[in-house]
Amino acid sequence: MVRRGPLRAGEKVQLTDRKGKKITVQLMAGEETQTERGVIRHDDIIGGPEGVVVVTLTSEGSMESAAEAYRHNPRKPWKNTRKIGGWQYTVMRPRLQDFILSMPRGAQIMYPKDIAQVIEACDIRRGMRVLESGGGSGAMGLHLLDAVGEDGELTTIEMRPEFAKVCEANATVYFGERPAWWNLLVGDFDSKSHELPEHYFDRIFLDMLDPWNRLENAWRVIAPGGVITCYVTTTTQLSRVAEAMRDSGQWTEPEISETLERGWKAQGLAVRPNHEMIGHTGFLITARAMAPGVEALHKRQRATKDTYSDIDELTPEQQQARLEELELRDISDRKLRKVLKDLDTQVENISKSAEGNGNLPQ
């Protein structure tokens, strides 16, 4: 839902001061928001446009006294009006990522950088039927609802009823009403997915602890050629999902990625990366569904390359054979002779340099 025009009661606004500190509030007629720098009256914002500056008051202060202080010193009104607030905030409607980072939540939310990659990697577009497992606080769901639009359909399966309530409430606040194109199911993925029609969904997104155990049911409800993306946080989860996809033969070779985000400072000649960055948050594993009865094509393993056997679990004879295999993959005799010749020359140069340095005064 796109909001334009004057700010209305019931919608949220983001207040940002000159230091970049942000406050997100829901506008209500007759209400006030207490900040560290004074009080902001909602009635002073409701009915006005975005992009204006509001000035804080104290509980005893008045809008007239704050306005007078602002006219007296418009560049730094707080200098003469500390006792009545006088701190400035820019008023804007929040972006979706601003809304998500400030919304009430119970479960940990996905970062915007990961959400953006899911929308791109999973190729989620308007009009699609999307299945989401793990609603959490609704961060991913809001983006999915926005991406598929009213022409599409989002089905979310959330195991915990309390998280489902949080997810539903956040979506209602963001869109101004509960999205009619959203089907929220409460329960475990296996039982709820069995109630869904076969090969119905265009896209599936799994955000759970063990997505490798859900792949069979996911394949049953996804259309051939559909895209699945799994979000996990550890390398052990990553490995199990990828191997389960390969072993099933129902999914194409998984594509694996993670995104690191680093902000920059650009102020005059001070142009440098910020000291803090958003590093690892999670891995994305993306694959496509094969048609029923068709085995997926995967890259063949080299006969001399074993990446699955643990060396500590092998017998001494098997370990020796493994070492011999590694030797087979070593450099060629010709290259080895070249390397040794190069190193012999470097060693001789050290000796010559040492002899020459011996003639130099210490």
Question: Which residues does the annotation place in the binding site for S-adenosyl-L-methionine?
Answer: 158, 188, 207
Q: Name, in order, each residue with C-beta under 8 angstroms of 39's C-beta and a sequence gap of 6 or more.
A: 32, 33, 56, 57, 58, 59, 61, 85
Measured CA to CA, the distance from residue 317 to residue 323 in angstroms comes to 10
Helix segments in the chain, DSSP class H: 63-72, 96-102, 112-121, 139-148, 161-175, 189-193, 215-221, 235-248, 316-328, 333-358
**Paired tokens of 290:** 């094969």
Q: Got the DSSP string for 30-84?
A: T-EEEETTEEEEGGGTTTSPSSEEEE-B-SS--HHHHHHHHHH-SS-GGGT-GGG
Distance CA 246, CA 307 (A): 14
| Spatial contact of 214 and 190, defined as CB atoms under 8 Å apart | yes
Give the residue ranges of the annotated binding site: 158, 188, 207
Name the 3-class secondary structure at 274. Answer: strand
